[in-house]
Amino acid sequence: MYTTQMDAAKKGIITKEMEIVAKKEGKTPEEIRSLVEKGRVIIPANKNHKSLDPEGIGEGLRTKINVNLGISKDCCNFEMELEKAKKAVSLKAEAIMDLSSYGKTREFRRKLVETIPSMIGTVPVYDAVGFYDKDLKEITSKEFLDVVRKHAQDGVDFMTIHAGINKETAKKFKQNKRLTNIVSRGGSLIFAWMELTGNENPFYQYYDELLDILAEYDVTISLGDALRPGSINDATDPSQVAELIVLGELTKRAWEKNVQVMIEGPGHMAINEIAANVVLEKRLCHGAPFYVLGPIVTDIAPGYDHITSAIGGAVAAANGADFLCYVTPAEHLRLPDINDMKEGIIAAKIAAHAADIAKGVKGAREWDYKMSEARQKLDWEGMFKLAIDGEKARKYRESSIPEDKDTCTMCGKMCAVKNTNKVLKSEEVSII
């Protein structure tokens, strides 16, 4: 018998989840088992998530993406968020993170676990504030851990836990002035609780008890970066790096209890710093999978941050990041609607695939080869079927039909592809 995927891997057991991941990734089950044993690949799979279609995250695997959604006090449309989750699955998002902080949070969470085959993640500290319905400073350490247990019981596959901001790293933050201070919602709540109560971060102080809960249900811990930069000005500063060092120490402690780990990384960062940050995380956190929000590579584009994050995500993943959290055009502005969500997913999927080509992930280039083959043949239906968003591609095509229907209205009879094909077949070419 085994308690978690990592426990099984250490005992030489290949689980059904490892077999599924191996088939998806074109690897042998033994290769996956070995990587899980080393902590370089994770398979977030809560024992109570019966509808789960398992995915692997980590070294040598396809770059996966995560979609954030959930109900809040200002936007508490339960059915709309559920509809967004179903749409995210149809767009092949591998993970959905429920950030609900108001209302029927447990009912919504359980509905997701019951119906959604993607990995489900949560941030228990968000839920704690709404669940207990009392001032932040009045919540006890035990109550924070009780919420973690409820999420685990409900079938959540991974949880963001901000355990790296302790009294020491908080002191480092206060000593090193930032332009944008703390922008992590969970990090700011823990920091505020520590400052208001004078107590140590409960997730750090009672880390062993926390790990025992996660191990019982095989929940992967996503070690949150409470001190991630909220502007390119604050990237790779002493606060961020000090917390990362603590996360590396917490990673080893989790592995000792057979809890799978991934590390959350920066949100805002100039392009030229991204590769070094990936190397730093992999070194300090012993090769644990790296999960990044973007990174957003410039701060000037509200309304277009799905693009700024896709640029950063492609660079990060090409250099070894394993998991991209999508960013939508609504980032920094409002809760995204279903169209914003789609734009964010497509942008993140493009970034992930571009990185997989650069990383040499098995089968990544084959998709592009087939698309180029369809283009060479001017096979429009083939192109639509292969497109990452075939619906939008078809809509654009059909909105402007050329006289020569083999071509498009960009080039018409001057179509380079069609004319070169004709020349190579010794056929006449007419562009008049």
Reduce the secondary structure of the chain to three states and give it as a string: CCCCHHHHHHCCCCCHHHHHHHHHHCCCHHHHHHHHHHCCEECCCCCCCCCCCCCCEECCCCCEEEEEECCCCCCCCHHHHHHHHHHHHHCCCCEEEECCCCCCHHHHHHHHHHHCCCEEEECHHHHHHHHHCCCHHHCCHHHHHHHHHHHHHHCCCEEEECCCCCHHHHHHHHHCCCCCCCCCHHHHHHHHHHHHHCCCCHHHHCHHHHHHHHHHHCCEEEECCCCCCCCHHHCCCHHHHHHHHHHHHHHHHHHHCCCCEEEEECCECCHHHHHHHHHHHHHHCCCCCEEEECCECCCCCCCCHHHHHHHHHHHHHHCCCCEEECCCCCCCCCCCCHHHHHHHHHHHHHHHHHHHHHHCCCCHHHHHHHHHHHHHCCCHHHHHHHCCCHHHHHHHHHCCCCCCCCCCCCCHHHCHHHHHHHHHCCCCCCCC
Query: According to the annotation, is 285 in a ligand binding site?
Result: no
DSSP 361-375: -TTHHHHHHHHHHHH
226 is in an annotated binding site: yes
Determine how β-strand 323-325 pairs with β-strand 290-293. parallel
Ligand-binding annotation for 353, yes or no, is no
**Cα torsion through 318, 324, 330, 334, rounded to 10:** -150
- Return contacts of 364-372, CB within 8 angstroms, 24+ apart: 364/62
Q: Contact at 8 Å (CB) between 99 and 123?
A: yes
- Looking at the DSSP bridge assignments, the partners of residue 66 are 95, 325
Q: Is 268 annotated as contributing to ligand binding?
A: yes
184 labeled binding residue: yes
Is residue 126 annotated as involved in ligand binding?
yes
According to the annotation, is 258 in a ligand binding site? no
Is 1 marked as binding a ligand?
Answer: no
Is 415 part of any known ligand binding site?
yes
Binding-site residues for substrate sit at 68, 97, 126, 162, 184-186, 225-228, 264, 291
Binding-site residues from annotation:
68, 97, 126, 162, 184-186, 225-228, 264, 268, 291, 332, 408, 411, 415
Binding-site annotation, residues for Zn(2+) = 268, 332
The annotation places the binding site for [4Fe-4S] cluster at 408, 411, 415
